Chains A and B, each alone.
Chain A
Amino acid sequence: ETGVTQTPRHLVMGMTNKKSLKCEQHLGHNAMYWYKQSAKKPLELMFVYNFKEQTENNSVPSRFSPECPNSSHLFLHLHTLQPEDSALYLCASSQRVNTGELFFGEGSRLTVL
Chain B
Amino acid sequence: GQQLNQSPQSMFIQEGEDVSMNCTSSSIFNTWLWYKQEPGEGPVLLIALYKAGELTSNGRLTAQFGITRKDSFLNISASIPSDVGIYFCAGQEGLTFGTGTRLTIIP
Contact = CB atoms under 8 A, between A and B. Distances in A.
A104 B33 CA distance: 14
Interface in B4-51: 4, 31, 33, 35, 40-45, 48
A17 interface: no
A102 interface: yes
A99 B93 contact: yes
A43 B2 CA distance: 13
Q: Find the residue from B33, B42, B45, B92 having the highest chain A CB count within 10 A.
A: B42
B44 A98 contact: no
A91 to B, nearest CB: 8
A43 B48 contact: no
Size bracket, chain B contacts: 20 to 34
Interface in A21-53: 40-43, 45, 48
Interface string B66-105: 0000000000000000000000101011111111100000
B45 A106 contact: no
B98 A42 contact: yes
Contacts of A78: none
Given A2-B42, A2-B44, A104-B44, A42 B94 contact: no
A100 B42 contact: no
A103 B43 CA distance: 8
A66 interface: no
A76 interface: no
A48 B92 CA distance: 14
Given A42-B4, A42-B100, A101 B48 contact: yes
Interface of B: 4, 31, 33, 35, 40-45, 48, 88, 90, 92-100
Interface of A: 2, 4, 40-43, 45, 48, 56, 90, 92, 94, 98-107
9 contacts: A42-B99, A43-B90, A48-B95, A90-B43, A98-B94, A100-B90, A100-B94, A104-B44, A107-B42
